[in-house]
Each structure stands twice: as C-alpha cells, then as structure tokens.
C-alpha cells in the first residue's frame, strides 16, 4: 500500500511519528507504546533521522522492528545532511530490504553546533533534489515531504517557501505532511494557497500534543510554531502540576484535531514523541474507532 492510497479512502488516514531512542531500555519502552497506539489502526508509522540535528543512528532498526510487529507500511525519514547521493542510495537499498517502502524526504536540520546547512560534495542542497533522486532510482518507494503552514524558518516569505514546496511535489512527492502548528487558520490558509498553486497531493496536518510546557517551549523554538495566547495562559495556570499540564495539552489537541477533521483534512499525522498517553487521550476523546 502506498502513502497516497492511505489517504484515498473515506476514513481520514492516521499516522504516527517516532524518533530513535538513545538506549536499549528506551527502545523496549517505545515498542510497548507503539503496541498501544496500534489499537487506533494507523495507516502507517514513521521514524525520524537526525531529528533536530542529532545523529542518524538506529532509524532503520526501529522502523524495521515496528514494521515486523505491526505489518503496517512504514516510512523512514531521510535527510541530505552529511551524505553523498551514493550513501543515500545505499541507505535506501537497505531500507527496502527491511520492508521500509516509504521515505519522508527532507533536507534536514544543520548538525548540532552549526547554524546553517551546508551540502556535502556529491550530496544534495535541497529536499527537492532528494525527491528527484528517489523518484529516479527508487521509483517504487512512497515519498512524503514537509510543508510549513507558518513558513520554514529560513524562507524569506511564505510565497517563496510555497514555490519550493511545489518543486518537491513536482519532483514526485506523494503527500505533504506539515510541520507542527497550533493555529488551524494558518493551516487552512496554507492549504488554500497550495491548492491555488496547483499542489494536488494530500496535505496532511502534523500535530504535536503538548504534554509539558518546558518541552513545548524547546520544540517550538526549534521550528518557530506560535502558541495561541489562551493556550499559553492555560498551561501557565497549571503551574508545576504535570497532570494538569498534560490535561490542558490533550484537551487543546482534541479541539484542534476535531476542527481539522470537520474541515475535511485527508488525515492527521501525530508527533507522538515515543509515548502513547497523549495521542491515546486525544483519539479516545474523539471516539476514534479502530477498524
């Protein structure tokens, strides 16, 4: 089943994003959370690669294991950071061997300690070049690319950023998954502009349910997403009570996802951060039924 097929049914497609844990214990814990999340019948699961500038270890091991235990389609994120086209090709060959048939094709964040992206000799500078390469040499693989409802941090304007998104889709992406955001109107405006530009693949909102204030401040500073004032006030009012912060986050994400589904989005991608509690809370609140 290709990524595009997941969004071509009447049911909105659900996907979850994981990141490679640093320890063996983290890995076992993650697989338990995944087991729990499988009850919500996701269409596919993805795992990051060098997220936030970290090293690119273990992605294939994790996502290969998730594929084995779930039988679901899975996607590896892949970035252009530090690799030649040849090395990226070797990685994709190994991915395919392990049943990983889909790629979230990204340029990637600069490595930790660097503040701008530099392409390597024989590598790629932008994600559209990676998409083009995968389409040519791994033509059977499904490809997702990232879209930015609030514009990518480095882009001079939303218009320029949208032209670049169009390049990635024209190069052969099957689906656009968005960066996390908390203001649905930004997503709706983004979607309308994509459609006006002739981007006609599914545009899937990416949501990260906030579970604690410190974490979300760190993540939004990385990607530039704005948090609505009332949401920040509610989180602040929770003080240092972690249960209350969690509940505020789950309630917000429930409302946000409900409104997106109401507006007919093709699916929702949840950044679950290797945990099941927040995503389960949201999906249960929505009465999300397993097939």
Ligand X SMILES: NC(=O)C1=CN([C@@H]2O[C@H](COP(=O)(O)OP(=O)(O)OC[C@H]3O[C@@H](n4cnc5c(N)ncnc54)[C@H](O)[C@@H]3O)[C@@H](O)[C@H]2O)C=CC1
| Residue whose CB is less far from ligand MHF, 33 or 97 | 33
Residues 84-123 that bind ligand MHF (CB under 6 A): 109
Q: Tell me which of 1, 5, 8, 22 binds ligand MHF, using CB under 6 A.
A: 22
Which residues 216-245 are close enough to bind ligand MHF by CB under 6 A?
219, 222-223
CA-wise closest residue to 129 among 56, 79, 163, 178: 79
Is there binding between residue 128 and ligand X (CB under 6 A)? yes
DSSP per-residue letters across 149-211: TT--TT-S-HHHHHHHHHHHHHTT-SEEEEEE-S-HHHHHHHHHHHHHTT--S-EEEEE----
**51 versus 235: smaller Cβ distance to ligand MHF:** 51
Q: For the CB of residue 149, give the shortest distance to ligand MHF in the complex, in Å.
A: 12
Cβ neighbors of 220 (< 8 A, separation 6 or more) are 226, 227
Task: State the Cα–Cα distance between residues 173 and 158, nearest whole angstrom.
Answer: 20
Distance CA 246, CA 233 (A): 14
Instruction: Compare residues 135 and 254 and give the one whose CB is closer to ligand X.
Output: 135
Cβ of residue 48: shortest distance to ligand X, in angstroms?
Answer: 3
Give the C-alpha separation, 223 to 208, whole Å. 12
- Could you give the CA distance from residue 242 to residue 213 in angstroms, rounded to a whole number? 9
Question: What is the closest distance, in whole angstroms, from the C-beta atom of residue 152 to ligand X in the complex?
Answer: 4
Name every residue whose Cβ is closer than 8 Å to that of residue 250 and which is 6 or more positions away in sequence: 209, 211, 278, 281, 282, 285
Closest CA to 189 of 211, 159, 169: 159
What is the C-alpha R_g of the chain? 18
- Residue found under tokens 């097929």: 5
Nearer to ligand X, 50 or 123 (CB): 50
Question: Between 123 and 281, whose beta carbon lies closer to ligand X?
Answer: 123
Our answer to whether residue 17 is catalytic in this structure is yes
Task: Choose the one of ligand MHF, ligand X, none that binds residue 180, judging by a C-beta under 5 to 8 angstroms depending on kind.
Answer: ligand MHF
Among 7, 16, 19, 40, binds ligand MHF (CB under 6 A): 19
* Site for ligand X, rule CB under 6 A: 48-51, 77, 79, 106-109, 126-128, 146, 152, 154-155, 160-161, 164, 167-168
Provide the annotated active-site residues.
Answer: 17
* Site for ligand MHF, rule CB under 6 A: 19, 21-22, 48, 51-52, 109, 179-180, 219, 222-223, 271, 273
């Amino acid at each position: 089943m290709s990524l595009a097929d997941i969004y071509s049914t009447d049911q909105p497609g659900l996907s979850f994003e994981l990141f490679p844990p640093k320890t063996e214990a983290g890995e076992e814990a993650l697989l338990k959370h995944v087991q729990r999340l499988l009850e919500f019948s996701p269409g596919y699961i993805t795992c990051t690669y060098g997220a936030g500038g970290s090293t690119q270890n273990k992605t294939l091991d994790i996502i290969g294991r998730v594929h084995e235990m779930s039988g679901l389609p899975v996607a590896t994120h892949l970035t252009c950071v530090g690799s030649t086209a040849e090395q990226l090709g070797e990685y994709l060959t190994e991915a395919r061997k392990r049943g990983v048939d889909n790629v979230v094709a990204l340029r990637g964040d600069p490595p930790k300690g660097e503040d701008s992206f530099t392409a390597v000799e024989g590598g790629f500078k932008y994600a559209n070049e990676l998409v083009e390469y995968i389409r040519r040499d791994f033509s059977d693989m499904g490809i997702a690319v990232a879209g930015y409802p609030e514009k990518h941090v480095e882009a001079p304007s939303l218009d320029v950023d949208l032209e670049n998104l169009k390049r990635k889709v024209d190069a052969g992406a099957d689906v656009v998954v968005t960066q996390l955001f908390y203001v649905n109107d930004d997503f709706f405006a983004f979607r309308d502009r994509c459609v006006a530009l002739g981007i006609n693949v599914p545009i899937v909102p990416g949501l990260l349910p906030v579970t604690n204030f410190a974490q979300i401040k760190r993540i939004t500073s990385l990607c530039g997403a704005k948090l609505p004032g009332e949401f920040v006030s509610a989180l602040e009012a929770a003080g240092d009570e972690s249960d209350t912060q969690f509940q505020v986050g789950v309630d917000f994400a429930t409302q946000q996802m409900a409104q997106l589904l109401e507006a007919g989005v093709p699916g929702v991608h949840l950044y679950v951060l290797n945990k099941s509690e927040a995503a389960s809370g949201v999906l249960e609140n929505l009465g999300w039924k397993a097939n």
